[in-house]
A and B are shown apart, each in its own frame.
Chain A
Amino acid sequence: MKVPLVVNGERVAVEARPDEMLLGVLRREFGLLSVRETCGIGVCGACTVLVDGEPVSACLLLTPLAAGRDITTVESLGGDHPVQRAFVEAEAFQCGYCTPGMILTAKRLLEEMPEPSEEEIKTYLGGNLCRCGCYVKIIEAVKLAAAESYPLREVSGT
C-alpha cells in the first residue's frame, strides 16, 4: 500500500506493507540508517524517532499509523544541534549505535524540561539503553545542552 509520510520535512508517499513497522521503511525506502534495531520490542530506544515531536520506538509503530505525521530522525539535525554538540563535547558515546536515539530523546526532554535534574534525566532516558554504559557522560551532555540552550536561566540561577 502507498503510505503518505512526512520524513525530515519532506512529503513522500512510500510503498509499505500494512504490517510493516516504520523502522524497516525508514531504512529501506529513505536510507535513514541512524534508525537502528536492537531489541525489536520497544524497550531499548535504538530506533527512536520523533513523531510530531514525541519520541517513539520505530520498531513498534506500524507504518500506516504514521501516515501524514511528522517524522524526525537525527539526520535532519545536521550535526550542529546543541544536543549533538553537547554529546561531542562530553564524549557521551562509545560505539555510537544508541547515540541517535539518545539525542532525539534528550532533545524532547529539554523541550519539556529546560533545566532537568539528574534524576529527571535518568528517568526520561530510561527507555534508551546504552550497553557501553556511557550514562555518566550522557547525563553530563544533557546538562551541557541545557546550559547551552538556556544560558540566561543558567546565569540567573547562579
Chain B
Amino acid sequence: MSDPRVTGELRYSQDIELEGMLHARILRSPHPHARISRVDASAVPEDVVVLVPHDVRDLGYYGCQIKDQTVLAQEKVRYAGDPVAAVAATTPERAEEALDLIEVDYEELPAVFDAAEAAADGPLVHEEIKLSENDAAYFGLRPQQGTNVCHRFRIRHGDIESGFGEADVVVEETYFTAGAQHAPMEPHAALARWEGDGLEVWTGSQTPFNTRMDLAGIFGIPEEKVRIVCPPMGGSFGAKTFVRLEAIAACLARKAERPTKIVLDRDEEWLTLNRHPATLKVKLGAKRDGTLVAKRVECWANTGAYADCGPGVAQKMGFASPGPYRIPNVWVDSHAVYTNLPPNGAYRGYGQMQCTWASERTIDLLAEKLEMDPLELRLKNILKDGDRYCTGEIMHDVHFAELLQRAADAVRWNENRHGKGLCVMLKGMQTPSRASIAVEASDNGNYTVLCATAEMGQGARKAIRLMAAELLGVEVEKVGFPDPDTDAVPYDTRTTSSRSTHMMGRALEKAVEDLRKNGRRGYGEVVDEGGLDPDTGQGVASSHWHQGAAAAEVEVDKETGRFSVKRLHAPVYAGRVINRPGAELQNEGSMIMGVGTALFESVNFSEGQVSNANLSDYCVPAAGDMPEVLTHELVEGERAEVHGLGETALPPVPPAIGNALHSLGINITGLPITAESVLDAIDRRDEERTRSTLPSQEEPATEGVAGKNGARRTYAVAFGISLGALVVGLLLRSRRIAAAKRLVPRRLAR
C-alpha cells in the first residue's frame, strides 16, 4: 500500500483553496522600533482589499501568555518585520504589487536587542504588561511592570550562601546560545472564511484550541463561533503555534467578504518566530570528592518584541537548568525579556537546549578543576528513583545513570577520553495539562478517532491509530483519524511538549473502555495536575520526565579551527515504544537538528534586521552534514509508561560536542560552535599552556579521535622554545582566522 507522502497527494494548508478566494500579503516595518506617524493606502486600486492599523484598532489584544499583540501594529512598531498593513487580491502577484503603493511614515525610536541589557535598562518595548486569559497562560506569571521583563521565574531550594560556603571548588561561566529558525519545509499558511458572524480558519497549527481562544477574544465573539481546522503540516518544530497569520487573514476575509489565504514568503519565516537567543550565567560548587553542594543559575531568554510563549520557555529553561543531579542548595532566576527583535517562541525543546548547554558544559569545567573523570562526576551526583529534585518532587522511573553509561560505552569512554564528550538531560513535559479523545464506532466495523492532536510529521496520528487498533482489537486500517477540527473534536491542551502520545494514549484507554460500555461512542479524558510556585520553584514541574543522554567524538584541525563530529550516539528513555520506525525517526531527526544547532545555525542581525533570512545564508543540515556515525538507542522498561520522544535527543547533542572539544582543552561557551571560536579557544589554551610551567606538547595537526591511532608523542620542551612558538603563533593567528572564515560554513556544494 502506498503512502500519500510518496505519491505527492498529501495536502497541506497551503494547498487548500476555496471558491472566490483572495491571496494576501503583509506590509512590514523596516525599523526595529518606531512610532507610526502616517499610513496612506489611497493609491491602492479599488479591487484590492487593504487593511491598515485604523481598521483593527477596536479589536482585542491577544497573546497566548501575555496580551501584548494587536492584529496590526498600533501607534508603534516593535521589530523590523512587525506587520503594519495587509492587502488581499485575486492573485498573490497583484497583492504583492499593491504593497508597494502603501506609504508609511515612521519616527524612529531607540531600540534594544540584547536581553540582559534590556532587562537591566534600555527603552521599554511595552509600557504595560497585561496577562492573557488564554489557557496557555497556565502558570503563575510574574511580569515586572515598568521593565522589559515579562516573566521572572525563581527556584529557592536550600541555602545558596552556606552551600557555596561548604564548597571546596567553585566554577563560574557565562554562556550564549544563538537564535535559530525552525525552517519548516512548508511555510506558515492560513485560510479564513466568515459565514455570518462565524469564523472558520484552516491553518497548519499545533494549537487549535489556543488559536480559537485568541481569535474569539480578538473579534469579541464566543469561542463556539470560531472553528479551527488543522490539516497536516509540512514540519513545524514549534513554529506553527498560537495565532500567527490567522488574525490578519480573518480581518481581510471579513472586510473583503471573501475567503482569504496567506502563505508566507520564506524570508517572512524569520520575521514570524525564531528560537530564543539566551544568555545563562552558571556557578557550581562541589566538595573535593565531587559531591555537588550548590548551584546558582541566571537565565535571560530574549523573547523579542512580543512575549508569545517566552514566559513558558524561560520558566522551563529555569526549572531544568539544575540538571538531573542531587544538589542540596539551588538558586535560579530566569527571565523572559522583551527586546526589539522578531518574536521568539516554542522551538523543539522549549528552552531545554539552552539550559542543557550551559549546565552540562559547566559539569565538565568542574570535572577539569577537580581533576575528575566527567562521567564519574556525573554518576556520583545523578538523580535516582526516590531522590528529590530541587523543585521538591520525588523522582520515579528515572534512568539517567543507565542512559549516561550507555552513551559512554558507545564511544568506548573507558579506553580513553581524548576528543570525546558526554551529556545527560532531564526535560519536563507540560504540567498541568488535559487531553481528551472520542472514539466512534460505525456499522461497517470501522472506527473514528476524534482528537485535537495535530500531525506535523512527528507521527502522533499513526501512534494513536496503532494504540487504538490494539485496544479495539482491529486492523489499523479500520481506524480513521480526520484532521483536528474544533467543531468536532474534544478539548486538548495542545500538540506540544512531546505530550501527545503519552497523554492521548492514556485518554484513549479510557475512551475505548467507555465505548465498550456505550456501544457507539466512547469518551476519555486525562488531567495531569501540578505546576510550580513561580517565586520559589517548589511544586510539580513535570508529571513525568523525558530523559536523554548523548556522547560525541570530534576531530579538530588545529590550524584552521575546523572540526568534524566523527561519532554521535544518543540513548533516550522511551518507556514503551508504540511505533518503532516513528520513534527512531524522532531520535534521528532530533539529533540532526541538534547538529545544526551545534555547528552552524544562527539567526544573525544587523541593527535589529535579520541579515540571513534565506536558506542559502542560513544553513540547515543536509545529508552530508551528518556525523560519520550517527546512532541512538530507545531504552525500554517493563510495564513502563509511553514517553514522548519528539525532543529528547536534541538538547544533549550540542553539549556532548562542546564537551568533546573541552576534552582537548578547547573551551567553548557559545553556540553555534564556529571554526573561529574553536581557533580562538585553541589560542587561549596554548597561551595558558605556555604561561604555565607545565611542559608543552608537540601535537599532530589534527586532534581528537584520530590521535588514538598511536600514542601521542610528548616531549618536554624548554620554556624559551614555547615562548618563541607563542610569538610566531600570534603572528600567524590573523592569517589562520582568515583561512577559517573561508571554510565557514562547512557545507556540501549544492
User: Which B residues from 207 to 259 make CB contacts under 8 A with A?
Assistant: 232-235, 237
Q: What chain B residues lie within 8 Å of A130 (beta carbons)?
A: 185
Instruction: For residue B525, give the distance in angstroms from its CB to the closest CB of chain A.
Output: 28
CB neighbors of B among A11-48 (8 A) = 32-41, 43-44, 46
With CB as the reference atom, state the residue of chain B lying closest to A77. Answer: B7
Are B6 and A88 in touch, CB under 8 angstroms? yes
Give Cα A77 to B749, complex, Å.
29
Provide 21 A-B residue pairs closer than 8 Å at the C-beta atoms, listed in order of the A residue. Answer: A33-B8, A39-B266, A74-B6, A74-B7, A79-B7, A93-B5, A94-B459, A95-B457, A96-B457, A99-B6, A126-B623, A131-B237, A131-B593, A132-B185, A132-B589, A133-B589, A133-B590, A133-B592, A135-B622, A135-B626, A137-B585
- CB distance A137 to B581 under 8 Å? yes
Q: How far is the CB of B586 from chain A (nearest CB, A)?
A: 8
| Shortest beta-carbon distance from B27 to chain A in Å | 19
- Bound together, the chains give a CA A156 to CA B624 distance in angstroms of 29
Nearest chain B CB to A108 CB, angstrom units: 15
Contacts of A119-158 to chain B: CB distance below 8 A? 121-123, 125-139
Which chain A residues lie closer than 8 Å to B749 at the CB level?
Answer: 126
Least CB distance, A93 to chain B, in whole angstroms: 5
Which one of B9-17, B144-152, B410-418, B726-734 is at the interface?
A: B9-17
Judging by beta carbons under 8 Å apart, are A95 and B590 in contact?
no
Distance A78 CA – B185 CA, assembled complex (angstroms): 24
> Which residues in A have their C-beta under 8 angstroms from that of B624?
122-123, 126
Q: Which of B32-71 contact A (CB under 8 A)?
A: none
Chain B residue at smallest Cβ distance from A35: B8
Contact B7 A41 (CB under 8 A): no
Nearest residue (CB) in A for B614 is: A41
Q: Give Cα A126 to B626, complex, Å.
A: 11
Instruction: Give 14 new A-B contacts, CB below 8 A, not counting A40-B265, A132-B457.
Output: A39-B615, A41-B615, A74-B8, A88-B2, A93-B3, A94-B585, A95-B232, A95-B234, A123-B748, A126-B749, A129-B622, A131-B235, A132-B589, A133-B588
Contact call A36/B234, Cβ cutoff below 8 A? yes
- Which of A122, A131, A133 counts the most chain B CB atoms within 10 A? A133
Q: Is the CB of A80 within 8 A of B588?
A: no
Residues in A lying within 8 Å of B, measured CB to CB: 32-41, 43-44, 46, 73-75, 77-80, 84, 87-88, 91, 93-100, 103, 121-123, 125-139
Closest to B458 in A: A94
Question: Is B577 engaged at the interface, CB distance under 8 Å to the other chain?
Answer: no
Complex: A36 Cα to B620 Cα, angstroms: 18
Q: Do the beta carbons of A38 and B748 come within 8 Å of each other?
A: no
A39-B614, A75-B7, A138-B623 given as contacts; is B2 within 8 A of A84 (CB)? Answer: yes
B623→A97 contact, CB < 8 A: no
Q: How far is the CA of A139 from the CA of B624 in the complex (A)?
A: 11
A133–B597 alpha-carbon span in the complex (Å): 13
Instruction: State the 7 A-B residue pairs at the shortest beta-carbon distance, nearest first.
Output: A34-B8, A96-B5, A95-B457, A97-B234, A94-B457, A133-B592, A133-B589
CA distance A129 to B626 in the complex (A): 12
Find residues 703-750 in chain B having any chain A CB closer than 8 Å to their own CB.
748-750
Encode B184-210 as 1/0 by CB contact (under 8 A) with A.
111100000000000000000000000
Given A33-B15, A38-B186 in contact, is the A137-B3 Cβ separation under 8 Å?
Answer: no
Chain B: CB-nearest residue to A127: B750
Q: Which of B3, B4, B15, B235 contacts A132 (CB 8 A)?
A: B235
Which chain A residues border B3 with CB–CB below 8 Å? 87-88, 93, 96
Residues of A within 8 A of B314 (CB): none
- In Å, the complex CA distance between A131 and B182 comes to 9
- A98–B15 CA distance with the chains assembled, in angstroms: 15
A120 to B144, CA, bound (A): 56
Output the least CB separation between B332 and chain A (Å). 31
Chain B residues whose CB sits within 8 angstroms of the CB of A136 once the complex forms: 584, 588, 626, 630
Contact A46 to B185, CB < 8 A, known contacts A33-B11, A139-B623: yes
- Quick check: A95 and B235 within 8 Å, CB to CB? yes
In the complex, residue of chain A having the shortest beta-carbon distance to the beta carbon of B182: A131
**Which residue of chain B lies nearest to A97 when distances are taken between CB atoms in the complex?**
B234
In the assembled complex, B518 has its CB within 8 A of some CB on chain A: no
Q: A74's closest neighbor in chain B, by CB?
A: B8
- Kindly list chain B residues whose C-beta atoms are within 8 Å of the C-beta of A88: 1-3, 6
For B2, the chain A residues whose CB sits under 8 A away are 79-80, 84, 88
Docked Cα-Cα span, A73 to B237, in Å, equals 28
Judged by a CB distance under 8 angstroms, whether B660 is at the interface is no
B183: Cβ under 8 A from any A Cβ: yes
> CB of B456 within 8 A of chain A?
yes
Q: Are A98 and B8 interface neighbours, CB within 8 A?
A: no
Do the beta carbons of A122 and B626 come within 8 Å of each other? Answer: yes
Q: Is residue B621 within 8 Å, beta carbon to beta carbon, of the partner chain?
A: yes
Q: With A75-B8, A97-B234, A129-B185 as given contacts, are A44 and B748 in contact (CB-CB < 8 Å)?
A: no
Residue B692 lies at the interface, judged by CB distance under 8 Å to chain A: no
Q: Does B606 contact A (CB under 8 A)?
A: no
Q: Please tell me if the beta carbons of A43 and B748 are within 8 angstroms of each other in the complex.
A: no
**Whole-angstrom CA separation of A110 from B252 in the bound complex:** 48
A43-B615, A84-B7 are contacts. A133–B593 as well, Cβ < 8 Å? yes
B566, chain A: closest CB distance, angstroms: 15
B123 at the interface (CB under 8 A from A): no
A36–B3 alpha-carbon span in the complex (Å): 17
Minimum CB–CB distance from A97 to chain B (whole Å) comes to 3
Q: How far is the CA of A139 from the CA of B459 in the complex (A)?
A: 20
A91 pairs with B582, CB closer than 8 A? yes
- Residues of B contacting A36 in the complex (Cβ-Cβ under 8 angstroms): 185-186, 234
Task: Write the nearest CB–CB distance from B589 to chain A, whole angstroms.
Answer: 4
Contacts of B183 in A (CB 8 A): 131
- B265 CB contacts on chain A under 8 angstroms: 40
A128 to B592, CA, bound (A): 15
CA distance A125 to B187 in the complex (A): 22
Name which residue of chain B comes closest to A46, CB basis. B185
The answer, yes or no, to whether B444 is at the interface (CB within 8 Å) is: no
Which chain A residue lies CB-closest to B462? Answer: A91
